[in-house]
């Protein structure tokens, strides 16, 4: 999961292109996400400094980032950004189309992650849709409506389908053979 205990990630260089991020206007939260982020690579440690810098306006210092392990390359457990250590917490069963960015005081921004390999028009459309004030669509729906293929969905928990509850109700709650 990790390449080391922590990595220093400096501010984005002047030669880098502009951060691709669209946030919903501040106000009451609606929907699954608070905006859309279209990173340029699957290297979370490299992408995070620019994102943390912009999100500092809403969150203050970024303290943690929660992400789906399957959606990103090898990621360290911590990165240092502008003198602050940021914990990176990867999970196997988190929705791969989102990241949660959390400030020191617990405030959170949940972002749709547009796959870096998305085509220009579809990636832009998905990012912009995620940032619409009243958008309440799921991340998968936003990506699909924009024409972005998000790959395999995260597996859902299994539900017992052996009919045990139906048999219990059908038998009147009695155990056969113990009459």
How do residues 113-169 score in pLDDT, each as one tens digit? 999 999 999 999 999 999 999 999 999 999 999 999 755 444 444 444 455 555 444
Per-residue pLDDT reduced to its tens digit, 93-120: 999 999 999 999 999 999 999 999 999 9
Cα 39 from Cα 58, distance rounded (Å): 19
Residue whose C-alpha is closest to residue 130's, from 120, 144, 118: 144
At 172, the pLDDT band (50, 70, 90 cuts) reads low
Q: How many distinct helices (H) and strands (E) make up the chain? A: 4, 8
Per-residue pLDDT reduced to its tens digit, 9-28: 444 443 457 899 999 998 87
Per-residue pLDDT reduced to its tens digit, 50-67: 999 999 999 999 999 999
- Specify the pLDDT at position 137: 95
Distant-in-sequence, close-in-space partners of 63: CB < 8 Å, separation ≥ 6: 84, 86, 87, 102, 103, 104
Cα 122 from Cα 117, distance rounded (Å): 10
Task: For residue 85, list its beta bridge partners.
Answer: 80
Task: For residue 97, list its beta bridge partners.
Answer: none
- Concatenate the DSSP letters of all residues of 108-133 into one string: EEEEEE--TTS-HHHHHHHHHHHTST
**Helical spans, DSSP H, in the chain:** 44-59, 120-130, 139-146, 164-170
Per-residue pLDDT reduced to its tens digit, 73-92: 999 999 999 899 999 999 99
- Specify the pLDDT at position 12: 43
Other CB atoms within a 10 A radius of the CB of residue 161 amount to: 6
Cα 161 from Cα 169, distance rounded (Å): 15
Q: Return left, alpha or beta for 20; rule: phi > 0 is left, psi -120 to 50 is alpha, else beta.
A: beta
At 178, the pLDDT band (50, 70, 90 cuts) reads low
- Specify the pLDDT at position 99: 98
């Amino acid at each position: 999961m990790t390449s080391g205990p922590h990595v220093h990630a400096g501010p984005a260089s002047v030669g880098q292109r502009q951060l691709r991020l669209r946030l919903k206007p501040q106000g009451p939260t609606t929907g699954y996400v608070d905006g859309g982020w279209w990173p340029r690579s699957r290297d979370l440690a490299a992408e995070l400094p620019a994102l943390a810098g912009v999100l500092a306006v809403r969150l203050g210092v970024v303290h943690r980032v929660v992400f789906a392990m399957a959606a990103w390359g090898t990621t360290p457990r911590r990165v240092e950004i502008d003198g602050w250590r940021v914990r990176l917490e990867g999970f196997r069963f988190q929705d791969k189309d989102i990241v949660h960015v959390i400030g020191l005081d617990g405030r959170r921004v949940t972002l749709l992650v547009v796959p870096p390999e998305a085509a220009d028009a579809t990636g832009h459309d998905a990012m912009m849709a995620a940032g619409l004030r009243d958008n309440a669509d799921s991340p998968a729906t936003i990506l699909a409506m924009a024409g972005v293929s998000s790959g395999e969905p995260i597996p859902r928990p299994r539900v017992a389908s052996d009919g045990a509850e139906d048999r219990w109700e059908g038998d009147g709650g009695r155990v056969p053979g113990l009459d």
